[in-house]
Structure 1
Amino acid sequence: MKKAEIKLIVELDDNNVPERITWESTDSANKEALPVNAFMLSLWDHHYKNALKIDLWTKEMPVDEMKRFFYETLQTMGDTFLRATGEKNIVEDLRDYCAHFADKMEITR
């Protein structure tokens, strides 16, 4: 069985606020840690039937990029949900909401 490891490194200031986040993967062609300004990690706990989440962003993450990050995340969640379930109708509803979100947040698509 093949194994891969994804590593997130979070550097914190004295108040435990993320200053720098990097990530790396054993499957990546790039062998050095890559910087990011935010991440959202969701894991499914089968035993308790709920999601475990870690959402972090650096203090340098601009608000306009956070809005875009949420928009992109919602869009890709729709892609994932469609591949996992085949539920086209609800994904179309999610796409409609994403368009509404983008309009409200003044995000150019």
Structure 2
Amino acid sequence: MSDQKLLSFKVQLDTHQLPEQIEWFADTHEPPKTCKSVMIALWDEKEGNTLRIDLWTKTMSIDEMRIFYHQNMLSMADAYARATGDQKTSTDVKSYLEGLGKRMGILKD
């Protein structure tokens, strides 16, 4: 018998259908938590294409968004290395992201 886990998101929208609040819940014993942004990427095997859901609340600042995107790209480089064993490409991506982070003003020289 396989084990199943549940991860869910609840998005409260304003009258213009823009996210005001995002809650996420994992079926642990913890209560739902709020967040300002969520990115979900799904691989559509039939279409050979990535499907994405990118949501952020109206209260998320530009500075927070810069950090969020930068950290996501770093995490993707790490996940790529784990999934493929291609450490060289992961290292190249992280090197690029270090310079990008400096240009974005979120990393110091």
**TM-score normalised by L of structure 1:** 0.94
Structure 1 unmatched ranges of 5 or more: none
Aligned to 1:13: 14
Q: When the two structures are aligned, how many residues end up with a matched partner?
A: 107
1:68-93 CA-to-partner distances (Å, cap 9, x unmatched) read: 00010001101110000010111111
In 2, the alpha carbon distance for the partners of 1:24 and 1:84 equals 26
Matched, 1:78 2:84: no
Aligned to 2:47: 48
TM-aligned CA distance change 1:40 to 1:90, over 3 Å = same
In 2, the alpha carbon distance for the partners of 1:108 and 1:65 equals 13
In 2, the alpha carbon distance for the partners of 1:91 and 1:34 equals 31
Query: What is the RMSD of the two structures over their aligned residues, measured on CA atoms?
Result: 1.0
1:55-106 CA-to-partner distances (Å, cap 9, x unmatched) read: 0000000100000000100011011100000101111110011101101100
In 2, the alpha carbon distance for the partners of 1:97 and 1:33 equals 36
SS in 2 for 1:99: helix
In 1, the alpha carbon distance for the partners of 2:20 and 2:76 equals 27
1:29-54 CA-to-partner distances (Å, cap 9, x unmatched) read: 41x11000001000000000000100
SS in 1 for 2:76: helix
Task: Assess if the C-alpha contact under 8 Å between 2:98 and 2:107 holds in 1.
Answer: no
Q: Percent identity?
A: 32
Task: Assess if the C-alpha contact under 8 Å between 2:22 and 2:57 holds in 1.
Answer: yes
In 2, the alpha carbon distance for the partners of 1:14 and 1:101 equals 36
In 1, the alpha carbon distance for the partners of 2:14 and 2:95 equals 39
Aligned to 2:23: 22
